Amino acid sequence: MLDGAAWQRHKGPLIVQLQYIWGSVVAINKIVEARADAVSGVKDGSTVLISGFGAAGVPTDLIHALLDQGARDLTVVSNNAGTGDRGLAALLKEGRVRRIVCSYPRSAGSVAFDELYAAGKIELELVPQGTLSERMRAAGAGIPAFYTPTSVGTQLAEGKEVREIDGREYVLEYALKGDVALVQAEKADRWGNLVYNKSARNFGPVMATAADLTIVEARQIVELGEIDPEIVVTPGVFVDRVFHVPAVAAAA
C-alpha cells in the first residue's frame, strides 16, 4: 500500500492513464489525452445526450470529435437543435442524426435542423423542457417513470397514460437514458469532479447522471482537492472521461 507521503510524491499533474501501483491501489484518472479517445466506442444507433442551452454549455469539441469518429443513426437529446454550421448543426448536416429529442428546436440560425425538418429527413420528438430534464433526472436516479401535470390535455400527451391523483390529472412519462452524454464544464479534476460557468451549467449536471458513458469537455483541468468539496456540482462518480479543451481552442 501507498502511505500518504508517497502518494503525495507520486501525484503529479495529469497522472498518466489508469495504472496499477503497488498492490491494490488504483489511480483513478479519467483524463483522456487524445481527442479521438474521448469519444471512442460510441456505437451507431446510440442515444447521445448533449448539454447546452442556446450556445451556452454546448460541448462543441466533443461533438466534432464524434463527427470524426463516425457514429451514425444517432438519437440526439438536446434542448435546442443547433445553430450555424458548427457543433450539433454540423452533426445534423452530415446526416448522422436520425432522431432528435428536444424542447425548442427552432432558433435564430437553426438552418441545418430547419432544412432537414422541412424536407422530412429527421424525426422530432418534442418534449416540454421540464419533462425533458426530469426524464433524465429519473434515468440518473433509477426511476423508470413518473407522473406529471405538464402537458395534460394537450397534443403532447396524446397516447400517454393519464391518471387522476387527488383530483388532478397527470401524464405518465418515462425515464430518458443516454448511451452517451457529452457535457461541457468549466473545471474538472482527474476523478471527474466538475464545476460549471454561470448559465452554461444548464443540462450538464443532469445529463452527466443519465448516461452509461459520460464524457466531459472541460476548460481547465485542476489537481484533486483544488475544487472546494462544498462547491463540487457534479461529483466524479457520474463522469467517465474528461477531455481538456482550453477556452482559446474552444473559441476558435
Residues that bind other proteins (CB under 8 A): 53-57, 79, 81, 103-108, 113-114, 117-118, 124, 126-131, 133-134, 136-137, 148-156, 196-206, 233
Q: How far is the CB of 130 from other proteins (least distance, A)?
A: 3
Question: Which residue, 34 or 118, has its beta carbon nearer to other proteins?
Answer: 118
Three cell numbers written together for 84:
450555424
- Strand segments, DSSP code E, in the chain are 19-21, 25-27, 31-32, 47-50, 74-77, 97-102, 123-126, 145-148, 162-165, 168-174, 178-188, 194-195, 211-221, 241-244
Q: How far is the CB of 131 from other proteins (least distance, A)?
A: 7
Question: Which residue, 27 or 111, has its beta carbon nearer to other proteins?
Answer: 111
C-beta of residue 227 within 8 angstroms of C-beta of residue 189: yes
Q: How far apart are alpha carbons 196 and 233 in whole angstroms? A: 7
Q: How far is the CB of 120 from other proteins (least distance, A)?
A: 8
Q: How far is the CB of 196 from other proteins (least distance, A)?
A: 7
- Compute, in degrees rounded to 10, the torsion defined by CA atoms 165, 101, 183, 33: 140
Q: How many CB atoms lie within 10 A of CB 82?
A: 31
Question: Which residue, 34 or 108, has its beta carbon nearer to other proteins?
Answer: 108
Q: How far is the CB of 67 from other proteins (least distance, A)?
A: 22
Phi, then psi, of 125 in degrees rounded to 5: -105, 110
Burial group, residue 173, by CB count within 10 angstroms (0-12, 13-18, 19+): buried
Question: Which residue, 44 or 85, has its beta carbon nearer to other proteins?
Answer: 85
Question: Which residue, 113 or 191, has its beta carbon nearer to other proteins?
Answer: 113
Q: How far is the CB of 162 from other proteins (least distance, A)?
A: 13
Three cell numbers written together for 248:
482559446
CA distances 163 to 6, 122, 158, 172, 173, Å, are: 60, 32, 13, 8, 11
Question: Which residue, 150 or 220, has its beta carbon nearer to other proteins?
Answer: 150
